[in-house]
Amino acid sequence: MDLANLNAFIAIAETGSFSGAGERLHLTQPAISKRIAGLEQQLNVRLFDRLGREVGLTEAGRALLPRAYQILNVLDDTRRALTNLTGEVTGRLTLATSHHIGLHRLPPLLREYTRRYPQVALDIQFLDSEVAYEEILHGRAELAVITLAPEPHTLVKATPVWDDPLDFVVAPEHSLISNGAVTLADIAGHPAVFPGGNTFTHHIVQRLFEAQGLTPNIAMSTNYLETIKMMVSIGLAWSVLPRTMLDDQVARIALPGIQLSRQLGYILHTERTLSNAARAFMALLDAQIDLPGTLG
């Protein structure tokens, strides 16, 4: 089975179009079509239904997709295992991370890593933490440094590195600040801007309200914490932000007896052979776990 054809098949399945697959693989659309035609001829099945501009997997295509991932992952795993025998820290490291961690936690580690291992080509992908999980599960990223899921997938090993306290915040002139003692019920009555409903942080905050029988008034949502901070700072809504982001643009609301936190760390696929490059980066992350001042 031709690997180039398999890559084309996966690219179409993920992008939903032949043109999108061509852009991803830097090939013309006719070249993509030729690869799929070759694969379909080899397997003697039709893999895609083409209805105008719409492209969908056939039953045979849906059956092939997980096996295609498995074939490519086994080959990549084999390459890494053989390369590791040299003991050298070289090659490419595909690292997925969230925008927040990439901006606020990783820069000193990345600086140290590139200084120690200049032969490694870093491929850093900035993704939502939830998307990064999928990248790890499908073998498209070797390591991800993200907000950890409350309940990790069975094929994912998660290692906490930083405890990340979360605070309720509003604009400094917001009425919640001048009202004296504030309860969670008081906050629930005001408009909020939240991370998207699919995010781990959203679920952490949502569970707090549900535990007290409350429903937050979510007026807006975005996955970018810097955008949330801006919207809070101009008085549009309250929100919850990592304590590391707080400054004079926003004011913290003290809620006695309530402490919110999330875990930041790294994840990897339990059935994947890690490259020497990934192991070296993990060692830098592990060294952060017990360092004073790195938690919170």
| Residues in contact with 290: Cβ distance below 8 Å, sequence separation at least 6, in sequence order | none
Mean pLDDT of the chain: 90
Q: 102-112 pLDDT, tens per residue?
A: 988 999 999 99
Tell me how far the alpha carbon of residue 290 is from its chain's centroid.
24
Residues 95-104 pLDDT 10s: 999 989 998 8
pLDDT for 196 equals: 87
pLDDT of amino acid 50: 84
pLDDT score recorded for residue 294? 47
Q: Give the global pTM.
A: 0.72
Burial of 181 (0-12, 13-18, 19+ CB in 10 A): exposed
User: Among 195, 202, 206, 261, which Cα is nearest to 231's?
Assistant: 195
Give 290's pLDDT tier (boundaries 50, 70, 90).
low
Best CA proximity match to 267, nearest among 151, 164, 166: 151
Least confident of 72-86, 165-179, 197-211, 254-268: 72-86
Amino acid at 112: E
Q: What is the pLDDT of residue 296?
A: 40
| Sequence-ordered list of residues with C-beta below 8 angstroms from that of 30, at least 6 positions apart, any chain | none
